[in-house]
Amino acid sequence: MEKINGGGGGFRAKMEHALYSGEKKYVIGGIAIIGVICGVPWYFMTRGSKQQSHQDYLEKADKARSARLSAGSSSTK
């Protein structure tokens, strides 16, 4: 027996319509889905860390550099 598509359409047909139609509701839905996919990992990555300013980063780098240089000069003696 053959399946007769009498206008209901299958899953694939509905997906292709949603992807290629450009209807406003599908565009907004796609933007929302992409936002959630990108937003959830970003939220979990940044929720525990304190945001550092560029100045804080430079000070930390200077301390590490001076510690590395002083350790290197003491080992050459």
Q: Give me the pLDDT at residue 75, please.
A: 56
Question: Beta-carbon neighbour count of residue 52 at 10 Å?
Answer: 11
Q: Give me the pLDDT at residue 66, please.
A: 93
Q: Give me the pLDDT at residue 6, please.
A: 53
In terms of pTM, does the model score above 0.85?
no
How many alpha carbons lie under 13 Å from residue 50 in its C-beta half-sphere? Answer: 5
Print pLDDT tens along the chain (77 aa).
445 555 567 999 999 998 899 999 999 999 999 999 999 999 888 887 676 788 888 999 999 999 998 887 665 55
Residue with tokens 């990555």: 45
Structure tokens at 36: 């959630």
Q: SS3 sequence, 6-51? A: CCCCCHHHHHHHHHHCCCHHHHHHHHHHHHHHHHHHHHHHHCCCCC
Q: Give me the pLDDT at residue 28, please.
A: 95
